[in-house]
Homo-oligomer: A and B are copies of this chain.
Amino acid sequence: MAKDKESKSNITLKVPKGTKDWEGKDMVIREKIFNSITNVFKRHGAVTIDTPVFELKEILSGKYGEDSKLIYDLADQGGELCALRYDLTVPFARWLAMNPTVSQIKRYHIAKVYRRDAPAMTKGRMREFYQCDFDIAGQWDPMLPDAEILRIVTEVFEELGWKGRYTIKLNHRKILDGIFEVCGVPQDKIRTISSAVDKLDKSPWEEVRREMTEDKGLDPAVADKIGEFVRLKGGEDLLTKLLANETLTANPSAQKGLEDMRLLFSYLSVFNVMDKISFDMSLARGLDYYTGVIYEIVTEGSAPPANAADGPAPDKKDKKKKKAANGEDDDRSDDPSVGVGSIAAGGRYDELVGMFSGKGQVPCVGVSFGVERIFSLTKKRMAEDAAAKEVRLTETDVFVMAFGGKGFTGLLPERMDIAKTLWDAGIKAEFTWKAKPKLPAQFKQAETNGVPFVVILGEDELKAGKVKIKQMGLPEGHPEKEGVMVEKADLVAEVRKRLDAFNGAEQAAEQVAKLSV
């Protein structure tokens, strides 16, 4: 926080550790990202639900394993014990359990979540950060909601202009469990071996093997069998290969997972998603509650620069486990050799709602977009792209200004009246709150915010019932370069005509920019 300072009353002027104020162009970019994502969610018929920022503490208990220590508690000030939400999935499951008449829903939720983790601000890893979740709950025919979720993932990244820059790593918990079983992992070691496998995206096999055998006491022969499987990745070719493995298909869990994948792949082909898929046997995901397909979306910036060529991306999970949430700075967390991690992730969780409800399960599948990470990468890309358009801070269409010579009154009521007329017509307009402003100062205020049009009032022109409209930044030789005088009575129509043309050209330019990235 470069802006930290002490006030005269000795208050430390800062935001809490791991949080930040969003302002200026960052805020505009973030809003655009939210709008793009929401747009896709609505295209698929989703509703949105808003849950409280804190939940009863017992609702969150026992859902996050050892990460529970990262939960922010509210102080006990009498009454119920509460804690800030850690994610949006558990509150959604709690909501489903509380509303048993809701048997089917597609819902999205864009909101802040809280983790007392070691922050890495420049990577977009914060203690307060946005999640952006889309989930489908309900009993449907197999793999159809799962396929639509992955289709939504592609639409979101296409909408954000990331065409060709992301990969969906895909696996299935039942296949993994089957592999562990046929390799001979004891039942009580399956979860811990699974989380060792999950580290393959940032550690070499030798290190993961060492953890399995030395730290976790796995028979080296079993570890070697696992190694043959979990280093496999591919697409339909890999599925064909695994389906041909009779040892594996003899295992009921693996058999079920492989059948799911065969069906899913056929749906993903229709949805034009298969070319973004990497069927990756090393993907295990940390959370316990997944029961079916699991996925993580990675991009160039996901991996540390040093080993970007190797493909796999590091993840926040490992770091979280190593670092205690003790309020101390994590020296390594801003290390440039660490990537931002996955930019979206999710999977099927058919048994979470049942943890809250005696009324039985509601099968669910969902995805969570890491908006802060997506923001960090978007901003980085914009900074590198010389052709990127300047981000406008405001949406103001028209700046109303006045000029005059000696004895200039400032035309304040006249400027206010013109602004009022534009507001009444729904046109975004500003004027400067000075009784007698100078013309250059008014132009500067308009230019600073990139306002596209100005309306200029002069005393003589007003007496003749006329005002001038000028589009900013027109090229030399344009017929309206110096502005155009119009009847004051026609102002709204004349402004609107030019605004429509301007906005149409802007949209066309954005479309071209999106296609060319």
Give the B-binding residues of A (Cβ under 8 A): 3, 5, 7-9, 11-17, 19-24, 27-28, 30-31, 42-56, 58-59, 72-80, 82, 84, 94-95, 97-99, 112, 116, 128, 140-141, 144-145, 147-148, 151, 155, 266-267, 270-272, 325-327, 355-358, 393-396, 413, 416-417, 420, 423, 426-430, 433-435, 449
Known: A19-B54, A94-B13. A45 touches B428 (CB 8 A): yes
Q: How far is the CB of A338 from chain B (nearest CB, A)?
A: 23
Q: Which residue of B lies closest to A49 (CB)?
A: B23
Complex contacts, A11 vs chain B, CB 8 Å: 56, 58-59, 356
Complex contacts, A45 vs chain B, CB 8 Å: 394-396, 428-430, 449
Asked whether, in the complex, the Cβ of A80 is within 8 Å of the Cβ of B7, the reply is: no
Asked whether, in the complex, the Cβ of A428 is within 8 Å of the Cβ of B43, the reply is: yes
Complex contacts, A9 vs chain B, CB 8 Å: 355-356
Q: Which residue of B19, B48, B112, B430 is within 8 Å of A44 (Cβ)?
A: B430
Q: How far is the CB of A114 from chain B (nearest CB, A)?
A: 8
Cα distance, A80 to B116, chains bound together (Å): 11
Asked whether, in the complex, the Cβ of A76 is within 8 Å of the Cβ of B78, the reply is: no
Asked whether, in the complex, the Cβ of B82 is within 8 Å of the Cβ of A77, the reply is: no
Cα distance, A289 to B331, chains bound together (Å): 42
Cα distance, A413 to B272, chains bound together (Å): 12
Known: A27-B48, A420-B151. A15 touches B55 (CB 8 A): yes
Asked whether, in the complex, the Cβ of B77 is within 8 Å of the Cβ of A74, the reply is: no
**A and B contact pairs by CB, cutoff 8 A, 5 listed:** A9-B356, A22-B50, A42-B395, A54-B128, A74-B84
Q: Which residue of B lies closest to A44 (CB)?
A: B430
Cα distance, A43 to B451, chains bound together (Å): 12
Q: How far is the CB of A76 from chain B (nearest CB, A)?
A: 7
Complex contacts, A145 vs chain B, CB 8 Å: 433
Cα distance, A19 to B83, chains bound together (Å): 13
Known: A44-B428, A141-B435. A99 touches B52 (CB 8 A): no
Q: Which residue of B lies closest to A155 (CB)?
A: B423
Complex contacts, A147 vs chain B, CB 8 Å: 416
Q: Which residue of B lies closest to A4 (CB)?
A: B98
Asked whether, in the complex, the Cβ of B99 is within 8 Å of the Cβ of A3, the reply is: yes
Cα distance, A322 to B144, chains bound together (Å): 56
Asked whether, in the complex, the Cβ of B21 is within 8 Å of the Cβ of A51, the reply is: yes
Q: How far is the CB of A31 from chain B (nearest CB, A)?
A: 7
Across the A-B interface, the 9 shortest Cβ-Cβ residue pairs: A79-B327, A144-B433, A19-B52, A8-B358, A140-B433, A73-B75, A22-B50, A45-B430, A45-B396
Q: Which residue of B lies closest to A415 (CB)?
A: B270
Known: A16-B54, A74-B75, A144-B434. 19 other contacts (CB 8 A): A3-B99, A8-B358, A9-B356, A12-B58, A14-B56, A15-B55, A16-B55, A23-B95, A27-B47, A43-B426, A44-B428, A45-B394, A52-B128, A73-B74, A77-B327, A141-B433, A141-B434, A148-B433, A271-B420
Q: How far is the CB of A514 from chain B (nearest CB, A)?
A: 12
Q: Which residue of B12, B30, B355 is within 8 Å of A56 (Cβ)?
A: B12
Asked whether, in the complex, the Cβ of B80 is within 8 Å of the Cβ of A16, the reply is: yes
Asked whether, in the complex, the Cβ of B272 is within 8 Å of the Cβ of A7, the reply is: no
Cα distance, A51 to B73, chains bound together (Å): 20
Q: How far is the CB of A425 from chain B (nearest CB, A)?
A: 10
Q: Which residue of B lies closest to A61 (CB)?
A: B11
Q: How far is the CB of A34 from chain B (nearest CB, A)?
A: 11
Asked whether, in the complex, the Cβ of B80 is within 8 Å of the Cβ of A73, the reply is: no
Known: A73-B77, A78-B327, A327-B80. A429 touches B43 (CB 8 A): yes
Known: A9-B355, A45-B428, A326-B78. A14 touches B148 (CB 8 A): no
Q: How far is the CB of A20 from chain B (nearest CB, A)?
A: 7
Complex contacts, A22 vs chain B, CB 8 Å: 49-51
Complex contacts, A416 vs chain B, CB 8 Å: 147, 267, 270-271
Complex contacts, A42 vs chain B, CB 8 Å: 394-395, 428
